[in-house]
A = this chain, B = another copy of it.
């Protein structure tokens, strides 16, 4: 069993690579598909479907994200949990049932193996919570100084059930805009952790797999038009994206948007607008107005939707615009994040 630190040889494809896979990755992540160790994982969609009693017309969802968050650990999560939840959530946002994930690691020479082991353990726990299987992977090692500790890429495959057609381009005037909970927790947690210099950081990231929440919503309404998780760029950027894609306006009410007290305080001190700060366990749903209350009620019964609420509505005009009615009664145009506010937040 390799001890100590990651060596260049762990990426060679030879004996050390095999040792790393067999001593560190497989014991944590093993399942019958992964352990074949062939060049690709062969996965049965039918078997997975039967187990979940979903029908299928032959559409799958595919997504990918690389995770470069710094630091690797922060309150409420770490890069491993992020790598699973981020990709599970991207699949969920088109209404897909996430099934299979790949996990590819770029390791910097010298990374302590205990760090890697902790991250893989967290990744496993998140995969278990989301009920997805890690079925294939890859490990590369780059020289000291050529990567920043560890980057993870996950790709995910899910099945899109019959009749489900959810897209950022499907918002319609009259639809309600639902937000599943408080905003800015993830970004502020990471930023405080990065800057804390010995202080205690009490803000926890909201990283969570949202597939079970979305499953409940899909069972409740046939009229979910758009879903999106407001990660990089925050709630504001994500709403602007939807307004653009659907060629509609979105009007939200500031008073309906929940920001935890400690998060709001940190935003004020640091000079950030919580509307632009990343979330990793929240979603926006654009839903036909007649179903909106019912959808919110169903969300509130789930672990990650307890604070769900209607925050606004879709309007025909001005197209591509997001407007916010402020607490003091004014109306403000909400634009996309215009440059780099937060490097390496996910």
Contact A64 B153 (CB under 8 A): yes
Closest 8 pairs (CB-CB, A-B): A13-B232, A14-B337, A155-B155, A13-B233, A46-B58, A64-B102, A9-B340, A40-B63
A112 to chain B, nearest CB (A): 18
Given contacts A38-B167, A39-B89, A142-B344, 7 further A-B contacts (CB under 8 A): A13-B232, A13-B237, A39-B91, A40-B158, A64-B155, A66-B106, A67-B140
| Residues in B neighbouring A156, C-beta threshold 8 A | 40
Please classify how large the interface on chain A is, using the bins under 10, 10 to 19, 20 to 34, 35 or more: 35 or more
Does A309 count as interface, using CB distance less than 8 angstroms? Answer: no
The contact string, 1 if C-beta is below 8 Å from chain B, for chain A 219-235, is 00000000111011100
**Residues in B neighbouring A180, C-beta threshold 8 A:** none
Is there an interface contact between A66 and B12, defined as CB atoms closer than 8 Å? no
CB-based contact B155/A68 at 8 Å: no
Contact B66 A14 (CB under 8 A): no
Closest to A48 in B: B58
Do B104 and A64 touch across chains, with their CB atoms under 8 A apart? Answer: yes
Determine whether the beta carbon of A343 is less than 8 Å from that of B141: yes
Residues of B with C-beta under 8 A to A91? 39-40
Nearest chain-B residue to A139 (Cβ)?
Answer: B66
